[in-house]
Every structure is written in structure tokens, then in C-alpha cells.
């Protein structure tokens, strides 16, 4: 069976570099924080063209969102607008802190949060927006920044799937007041466990986020605010430093893979429509996702050919049981693109170690 994400082949290719980096950490006796974590923060900052003090690594992408919301001082009852069509984390973190997630619809073609839908959800209690760079493409930040500015809202960029993506000249992870990413193993830049990072050019927010991630402490045993324990392991940082060196070559292969699929579907299947990438955007293709008019038929074909697939995402978030108390029925009409996407979206293997021409041969 073809793997959906081929981490085994990736490990083989960079094996010598990984082993050297891993041995250095294991022999050092320093496993949390330390030189590897500092080196990673430096390298991430260099990649994005920002200061190392603007980068705070932490224990996961989900923690990164929670820390960002804590740094922005989200209060119980505050409303935050999140996409209805994405992974649960943004809405979950808002609710965990007592905030109220409001679910916005997406654009039917790019599948990104829709600024028009966001606008309709803004009330007196709205404090901010969490925009997700879905499947590795940046959300429509030109419009979102305008909306945020006009309505005095903060904007968090959830770039969990998009480290390395670009919108115009700007990198993903630099587009929000605070941006976050995830190093979950199957993300385009992933480690060998959980990991995440927070990015902000606002030095006050950066200082607060760093403090919150470390038990509210700037100085050992001196706690100025309530924080959490969310630190990155040295081993994960060492692995990420190796993978970051290869990220650009891998992103180019992902983009070539996506182009192969696009050409095939455009020329051969008018009932399968690839996610549109808006002009001026470079996606990481964390997922290669299409909308299949008849998803069941397409799934049968994939299963017969032994091609793996995933459904991102099978239900609108607002219908999850955990969000029952926020369900807002008058919204149903306003989230029709989300409902369509949950019924028709399907993702195919696209990582830098996927042989897409072989998959296309199987589909022919």
C-alpha cells in the first residue's frame, strides 16, 4: 500500500544527518530547551526574515493557539470568529479559555475562511479572528486585515499546515498579529512527536507568550502570571533543524506533485475540482484536496486501485457535540459552502516522497 505521508522514505534519505543530530542531543544530557531549541528558533526566524526574539517554540500547535489567546488576554464570554471547515483546534482553544467560537463559512473554491462571512458574525463582543491557512494556502489576509483594523479586532494566523507558504512577498507565520504553526509529524515541517511555535513581531506579545509557555515565569521561581508548561524537546528541535534545511526542496516537489494532479483532473475528470490556489499564493500543499461531485464513486475507484485517501474534514465544526451550546441555527444558511465541502472534499497523497505519476497511472 502507498503511504499517505511517507515519513519512512524521508527518514532514509536524511538518515545520516538525523543520527548525528540525535546523538548530539542524547549524549548532551540536556533534553528540554537548551542549545538545539535556541538554534531552531534562530533558524525559523532566519527563514522568515524576522528576529529570533519573535519566535517562541512550544509543545504543540494546539498549545501555540492557547498561548496566543492567553497572551491576547481572551476573557470568558469574548467572541472569536473561526472557520467552520477546518481542524478543531482553533475553536477548541477558544472554548477551553471560556471564549465563544463563532463559526464562519468558507470560499467555495479556495476553501479558505470567507471575509464576507466573518463580517456578518462581528458583534460588540467580538475580540478577534483566527484564520487558518487551510491545506497550506494562506487565508485571504488582505481582506481579513482590513476587517480586523476597521473593527479593532486582533487576528491570529493558524499556519499549522503552512510553514513555508507565501502570500505575495510575505511568508505564512508573519501574517497575523500572532501566528502559530505545528510540527506534528505529518505536517510539511514535522518532528518526531508533538511540537509547535508562536510568531509575533509585537515584542510585548512575544515576551508574554514566552512567559506563558514557561509557567508564567521570566526568571526561575518567579511567576508573574498564570501560565502553562509548554516546551519543545531538544530532540524535536534537533530533528526540525535537519528537516528545515530540506524544506524548500520538499516544497518544490509537493508543488510539482500538485501540478501533476491538477493537469490530470482538469484534462480527464470534469467532476473532480482541485482546491483553487488564489493568485499571488504559494501553497505548501500540506494536503492536496479536491472536491469530487460524487465522492462515493471516487472513493470506490481509489479503494479498487489501493490508493490511500483522507477526508478533510467530514463535518462542519459547529455540528460537533462539544460545540452544542454554541450552535447557532440561524447560521445554517450562511455556511452552505462548508456543508458542501464536508460532503465532497477528499485528499490524496502529495508529500515529497509520493510518486504521483504512479498514482495517476492507477487512476487512468
Ligand X SMILES: *Cc1c(COP(=O)(O)O)cnc(C)c1O
Q: Give the footprint of ligand X on this chain (CB under 6 A).
A: 60-62, 86-87, 89, 132, 158, 160-161, 182, 184, 194, 196
**Smallest separation (angstroms) from ligand X to the CB of 89:** 3
Q: Which is nearer to ligand X, 184 or 264 (CB)?
A: 184
Q: Grid coordinates standing for 283?
A: 501553497
The residue (of 264 and 313) whose beta carbon lies closer to ligand X is 313
The answer to whether residues 164 and 172 touch, using CB atoms and an 8 Å cutoff, is yes
Nearer to ligand X, 36 or 86 (CB): 86
Contact yes or no for 251/188 (Cβ under 8 A): yes
* 180/272 with CB nearer ligand X: 180
Residue nearest to ligand X (CB): 61
> 21 vs 172, which CB is nearer to ligand X?
172
Contact in structure between 2 and 308 (CB atoms under 8 Å): yes
Residue 194 beta carbon to ligand X: minimum distance, rounded to whole angstroms: 6
Minimal distance in Å, beta carbon 309 to ligand X? 17
| CA 54 to centroid of chain Cα atoms | 19
Cβ distance to ligand X smaller for residue 54 or 62: 62
In angstroms, what is the minimal distance from the CB of 126 to ligand X? 20
d(CA 289, CA 273): 9
SS (H, E, C) 198-255: EECCCHHHHHHHHHHHECCEEECCEECCCCCECCCEHHHHHHHHHHHHHHHHHHHHHH
- Closest contact distance (angstroms) between CB of 113 and ligand X is 11
Min. distance of Cβ 333 from ligand X in angstroms? 25
Q: What is the spatial distance between Cα 48 and Cα 46, in angstroms, rounded to a whole number? A: 5
- Closest listed residue to residue 116, CA positions, set 144, 153, 156, 80: 144
Amino acid at each position: 500500500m502507498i503511504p499517505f505521508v511517507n515519513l519512512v522514505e524521508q527518514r532514509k534519505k536524511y538518515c545520516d544527518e538525523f543520527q548525528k543530530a540525535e546523538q548530539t542531543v542524547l549524549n548532551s544530557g540536556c533534553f528540554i530547551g537548551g542549545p538545539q531549541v535556541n538554534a531552531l528558533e534562530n533558524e525559523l526566524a532566519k527563514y522568515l526574515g524576522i528576529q529570533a526574539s519573535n519566535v517562541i517554540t512550544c509543545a504543540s500547535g494546539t498549545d501555540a493557539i492557547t498561548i496566543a489567546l492567553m497572551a491576547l488576554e481572551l476573557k470568558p464570554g469574548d467572541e472569536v470568529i473561526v472557520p467552520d471547515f477546518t481542524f478543531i483546534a482553533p475553536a477548541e482553544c477558544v472554548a477551553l479559555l471560556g471564549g465563544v467560537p463563532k463559526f464562519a463559512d468558507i470560499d467555495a473554491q479556495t476553501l479558505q475562511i470567507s471575509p464576507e462571512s466573518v463580517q456578518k458574525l462581528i458583534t460588540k463582543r467580538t475580540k478577534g479572528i483566527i484564520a487558518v491557512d487551510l491545506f497550506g494556502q494562506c487565508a485571504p489576509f488582505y481582506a481579513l486585515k482590513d476587517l480586523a483594523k476597521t473593527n479593532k479586532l486582533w487576528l491570529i494566523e493558524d499556519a499549522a499546515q503552512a510553514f513555508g507558504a507565501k502570500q505575495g512577498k510575505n511568508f505564512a507565520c508573519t501574517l497575523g498579529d500572532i501566528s502559530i504553526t505545528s510540527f506534528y509529524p505529518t505536517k510539511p515541517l514535522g518532528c518526531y512527536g508533538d511540537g509547535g511555535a508562536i510568531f509575533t513581531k509585537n515584542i510585548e506579545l512575544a515576551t508574554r507568550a514566552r512567559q506563558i509557555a514557561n509557567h508564567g515565569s521570566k526568571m526561575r521561581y518567579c511567576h508573574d502570571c498564570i501560565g502553562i508548561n509548554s516546551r519543545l524537546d531538544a530532540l524535536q528541535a534537533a530533528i526540525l533543524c535537519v528537516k528545515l534545511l530540506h524544506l524548500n526542496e520538499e516544497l518544490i516537489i509537493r508543488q510539482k506533485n500538485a501540478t501533476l494532479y491538477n493537469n490530470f483532473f482538469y484534462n480527464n475528470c470534469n467532476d473532480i475540482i482541485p482546491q483553487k490556489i488564489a493568485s499571488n499564493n504559494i501553497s505548501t500543499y500540506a494536503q492536496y484536496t479536491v472536491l469530487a461531485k460524487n465522492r462515493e464513486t471516487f472513493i470506490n475507484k481509489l479503494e479498487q486501485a489501493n490508493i490511500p485517501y483522507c477526508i478533510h474534514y467530514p463535518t462542519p465544526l459547529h455540528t460537533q457535540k462539544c460545540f452544542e451550546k454554541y450552535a447557532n441555527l440561524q447560521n445554517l444558511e450562511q455556511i452552505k459552502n462548508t456543508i458542501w465541502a464536508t460532503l465532497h472534499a477528499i485528499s490524496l497523497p502529495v508529500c515529497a516522497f509520493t510518486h504521483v505519476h504512479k498514482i495517476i497511472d492507477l487512476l487512468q
